Amino acid sequence: MDNFVVSARKYRPQNFNTVVGQAHITTTLKNAIRQQQLAHAFLFCGPRGVGKTTCARILAKTINCTQPTAEGEACNTCNSCVSFDAGTSLNIHELDAASNNSVDDIRELVEQIRFSPQAGKYKVYIIDEVHMLSASAFNAFLKTLEEPPAHAIFILATTEKHKILPTILSRCQIFDFKRITQQDTVDHLMEIAEKEHISAEKAALQLIAQKSEGCMRDSLSILDKLVSFTGGQVTYQNTLEHLNVLDEDYYFQFHELLQKEDLSGVMLLFDEINKKGFEGELVLNGFASFYRNLLLSKDPATASILEVMEGMQEKFAKIAAQTETSFILSALNIVGEAEIQIRMARNKRLLVEMALIKLNFLKQAIELSNDQQTLVKKKRLDTPILLKQVPIVSFQPPNIKKGTEEGAQLVIQTPSTPSTPPKSPPAKTISPAAPPATYTPKTGDKKNLLSALREKYGNEYQIEEVTESLVLTPEKLHECWNLYIANLEKELKHSSAASFSTAKLQIENEVKFTVTVFSVTSQKFIDAEKMSLLDHLQHCFHNRSVNYEILVQASEKEDIPAYLRMNTKQKFEYIANLYPMVKTLKDTLNLELD
């Protein structure tokens, strides 16, 4: 065991068949080689450590092999294959674009491409991390990629396909490498362990596969380290310790305690984990994936995408069946929030503890909200709630009485649920539940009722006396008009007051009258007062409909120049008469008056 080297290098696949988890790619490549329909440029995309470079090297070896197998694999025995395996072949050139991404690097490469291989058929150029090439380097390369010499084959590899220029993409045959599944990784690791006579527990290998997240290179190097640390005895326990992974079992324990709402148990368990050196962040991450797994286990269909230790599926399924989905979802929420907050938190331990406390009382919280929901539902089902309707009371136009001061009308409407037609009002007592009523009390009754209502409802309702509107009568109108004149005098608006005084009033109907003035000037003075005059009039008659119209009866003697009273057409004719050129101008230019 002393000079043990598992390593990615030693177990790097030597032919297409031994490439793990990329059968869709290796099959296509083998077919292309067999049928001699090889493209000149390939683009290998996919996550790191899934076999892109490995496949590129196998491809280079296979197409240069002098005695390929019928299946399309390299023989591994001919001179070319041997030199490839020894890493001495001159037909393969690897460029890591991450570190050699300048124009000069590419120019050097392009320079080499011109020379045909001394032995073998093809020269293969592998450009790794091709997305790292600078824009100018890309351009320098593009021309060669467009017209490659017959002996040159390019294999571009990248983890970030979206960063590759479309001009490059369109010139390459594209292969998308898949993330290696946990099962494939475990199988591969077991095979290696067997060959190397390493005793490795399957659970340990599953843990390694989990930790390496589909990257075969990582899983191999983890196994490498573990073997050297443990002297070839890879157990679940020492793998946990080495990888700093918290045993899944802890989360099952947590879950059990949380379901029992055993807060002290939860806190003690977290303390135990903390003492082992597991940070809060790691615990939260573990919690999140635990609840995710639990949620997936709720449904046998989604349970199949679970990537857990052997035998864990059943355990998850059992616990999932006993746990409400609402609990799992809410727990995921709490843990997710805490995961975000912990990055900024000063006291990380406290933050995790707070999350644990929330989780501990989560069951109660959910039950409480469920209770409230059922309560609300019951209430709704027991008695149907009628839509609130305000009954439509037939509109009664104000009783127009010839200017008399006779009584105002009192209109009371009380809201109530059923929309019964307005009935005759019940005596004098009006409760909010009583049917709506248009209550027209007899004179004399009014004051008592009003005060009774005020007493009864106080400030609840605004009880206002609706004063009856008055119609226009000459006496009232003049009284009102003169009052306005008096106000104008008070404001020292003597010209206005004079205009008002000379105006002649004529009542048209109950709400409208005309104001006849004898000069445009007077009209202007009255117009200037329009808003306040209307307000004054409407107030006088308690009637918002009161309105007036101004008529101008201009006298011949008026000292206002005639042109001021002309409209546009008259003005034009007047000017055209004086200056005939104006008319010619209008006609020539086809102008119009506006």
Q: Which residues sit at the interface with Zn ion, rule CB under 5 A?
A: 65, 74-75, 78, 81
- Tell me whether residue 81 or residue 352 sits nearer to Zn ion (CB atom): 81
Alpha helices in 65-173 (DSSP H): 79-86, 103-113, 135-146, 166-169
- Tell me whether residue 85 or residue 187 sits nearer to Zn ion (CB atom): 85
User: ∠423-425-431 over CA atoms, to 5°?
Assistant: 110
Cβ of residue 69: shortest distance to Zn ion, in angstroms? 9
User: ∠537-538-542 over CA atoms, to 5°?
Assistant: 125
- Tell me whether residue 83 or residue 499 sits nearer to Zn ion (CB atom): 83
Please report the DSSP string for 472-507 in residue order. --HHHHHHHHHHHHHHHHHTT-HHHHHHHHH-EEEE
Number of H helices, E strands in the chain: 25, 10
Cβ of residue 173: shortest distance to Zn ion, in angstroms? 23
- C-alpha 466/C-alpha 451 separation (Å) is 15
Q: How many CB atoms lie within 10 A of CB 140?
A: 19
User: ∠311-317-323 over CA atoms, to 5°?
Assistant: 140
- Tell me whether residue 74 or residue 207 sits nearer to Zn ion (CB atom): 74
> Which residues contact residue 234 at a Cβ distance below 8 angstroms, ignoring those fewer than 6 apart?
193, 198, 199, 200, 201, 204, 205, 223, 226, 227
Alpha helices in 276-412 (DSSP H): 280-297, 300-303, 312-322, 325-342, 348-360, 362-382
**DSSP tag of 550:** E
Closest-CA residue to 393 (of 426, 432, 419): 419
Cβ of residue 61: shortest distance to Zn ion, in angstroms? 7
Cβ of residue 77: shortest distance to Zn ion, in angstroms? 6
- C-alpha 384/C-alpha 500 separation (Å) is 64
Cβ of residue 72: shortest distance to Zn ion, in angstroms? 12
Joined tokens for residue 383: 């008695």
- Tell me whether residue 61 or residue 188 sits nearer to Zn ion (CB atom): 61
**DSSP tag of 530:** H
Cβ of residue 70: shortest distance to Zn ion, in angstroms? 13
Q: Is the torsion defined by CA of 257, 263, 265, 270 positive or negative?
A: positive
Q: Are strands 123-128 and 92-96 parallel, antiparallel or unpaired?
A: parallel
Please report the DSSP string for 382-414 in residue order. HSPPPPP-PPPPPP------SS-----B-----
Joined tokens for residue 197: 């006579």
Cβ of residue 111: shortest distance to Zn ion, in angstroms? 29
Cβ of residue 12: shortest distance to Zn ion, in angstroms? 17
- Tell me whether residue 58 or residue 215 sits nearer to Zn ion (CB atom): 58
**Helix, strand or coil, per DSSP, at residue 283:** helix
- Tell me whether residue 21 or residue 68 sits nearer to Zn ion (CB atom): 68
> Which residues contact residue 57 at a Cβ distance below 8 angstroms, ignoring those fewer than 6 apart?
84, 92, 126
**DSSP tag of 466:** B
Cβ of residue 79: shortest distance to Zn ion, in angstroms? 8
- Tell me whether residue 74 or residue 109 sits nearer to Zn ion (CB atom): 74
Cβ of residue 9: shortest distance to Zn ion, in angstroms? 20
- Tell me whether residue 82 or residue 463 sits nearer to Zn ion (CB atom): 82
Cβ of residue 57: shortest distance to Zn ion, in angstroms? 14
Joined tokens for residue 283: 């615990």
Q: How many CB atoms lie within 10 A of CB 513?
A: 19
Closest-CA residue to 161 (of 139, 176, 173): 176
Amino acid at residue number 481: W
- Tell me whether residue 58 or residue 284 sits nearer to Zn ion (CB atom): 58
Cβ of residue 64: shortest distance to Zn ion, in angstroms? 8
Cβ of residue 65: shortest distance to Zn ion, in angstroms? 3
Kind and range of the H or E run holding 549: strand 547-552
- Tell me whether residue 70 or residue 386 sits nearer to Zn ion (CB atom): 70
- Tell me whether residue 65 or residue 234 sits nearer to Zn ion (CB atom): 65
- Tell me whether residue 78 or residue 354 sits nearer to Zn ion (CB atom): 78
**DSSP tag of 17:** G
